[in-house]
Structure 1
Amino acid sequence: MTPAAVRTFALILGIVFVVVGIAGFIPAFVVAPATDAGLALDHGHGRLFGLFPVNWLHNLVHLAFGVWGLVASRGFGGARGYARAVAVIYAVLAVMGLIPVLRTTFGLIPLYGHDIWLHFAIAAVAAVFGFMRVSNGTTARP
């Protein structure tokens, strides 16, 4: 793994988060939920692309992680710190989605359904880029 790969990961994940955050505010991409999820903040609540539960606060979190990734991608240290933080935070969010009392983040952000496996996947990939040994990309010559 090279520093450039870690920076590229932060850039790509940042772009994806920004796009997903914006998409969550576009009604055409959000399907209204069939049942009440018990959210205190239910404005904009629905399933993004018909799969992932979101609300306006969830969308803002995606945008924040996106902007953070874009800024972090400018340097190796920032990108690595971003990847490590995403790995830990998204693993915690995935586990919270498995616990009934925490699956709505105290009524603020939905973390259940397809969000659980997606958050675990994001955490796993981020862990690879954040915690794997990084080389300078050069090879030793005999």
Structure 2
Amino acid sequence: MNISMSSQSPAVSGSTRLQVQMVSGLFGAVFLLVGILGFVPGITANLGSISFAGHHTDAALLGLFQVTVLHNIVHLLFGIVGMLGLRSRGLAKNFLIVGGIIYAVLWIYGMVIPMESMGNFVGLNTADNWLHFVLAAAMITTGFVFGRKSRG
């Protein structure tokens, strides 16, 4: 049996498109979950001290990641966009790559801005900073790996 490359293109293309969209949806679902859990007492320690923004909060998701209302809203927005990536290969790829770049900038910002300064308006701590680094690397990598178009 001789199978030409062109007969395999649609399946490969559909598979790639589905993968990038599923990865976007997975990131989106996790961001939505994290955004919601940031408002749940018990899962977020010291929730009574949460502030809208800034470093003046003792609220910590899982007792580790400092959160503010603004921080949680950003997670929810990222979650919505990630879930919308389920509808479009292009949106999914852009969400992963651009979102990853945003997290890389946020990581650099968190490393440069003193945590107790007014400049820390998002309310970041060391755990947040390193999670942002991991998210940046994972999102950018998956965006490029799963978002590339197959050759047909």
For Structure 1 versus Structure 2, the TM-score category normalised by the shorter chain is 0.7 to 0.9
TM-score for both structures, normalised by structure 1: 0.80
Q: CA shift at 1:137, angstroms? A: 8.5
Partner residue of 1:10 out of 24, 40, 43? 24
Q: Give the structure 2 partner of residue 22 of structure 1.
A: 36
Q: Is 1:95 matched with 2:138?
A: no
Please identify the structure whose Cα radius of gyration is greater: 2
Task: Please say if residues 115 and 125 of structure 2, whose CA atoms lie closer than 8 Å, have aligned partners that are also in contact.
Answer: no
Structure 2 length normalisation: TM-score?
A: 0.75
> Match of 1:27, SS?
coil
| 4+ runs deviating over 3 angstroms | 39-43, 101-105, 135-138
Change (3 A) 1:30 1:83: same
Amino acid at match of 1:123: A
User: Matched residue of 1:28: which SS?
Assistant: coil
Q: Once the 2 structures are TM-superposed, how far is the Cα of residue 85 of structure 1 from its aligned partner? A: 1.0
**How large is the RMSD of aligned CA atoms in angstroms?**
2.6
Could you say which structure has the higher helix fraction? 2
Q: Deviation per CA, 1:23-76, whole angstroms, max 9, x where unpaired?
A: 00111111129xxxxx64757x51100111101111011000000111122110
> 1:36 is matched with which residue?
none
One-letter code of the match for 1:91? A
Distance across 2 between alignment mates of 1:71 and 1:134: 19
Q: Could you say what secondary structure the match of 1:108 adopts?
A: coil
State the identity %. Answer: 33
Contact kept, 8 Å, 1:3 with 1:136, in 2: the verdict is: no
The unaligned stretches of length 5 or more in structure 2 are 1-14, 48-52
The equivalent of 1:122 in structure 2 is 135
User: Which of 100, 114, 123 is the equivalent residue of 1:110?
Assistant: 123
Structure 1 SS opposite 2:60: strand
Counterpart code for 2:25:
L
Aligned ranges for residues 40-79 of structure 1 at < 5 Å? 40=54, 42=56, 45-79=58-92
Seen in structure 2, the aligned counterparts of structure 1 residues 119 and 103 have a Cα distance that, compared at 3 Å, is farther
Q: State how many pairs are aligned.
A: 132
CA distance, structure 2, for counterparts of residue 77 and residue 42 of structure 1: 39
Give structure 1 stretches of 5+ with no counterpart.
34-38
| Mapped partners of 1:48, 1:21: distance in 2 | 10
CA shift for structure 1 position 117: 1.2
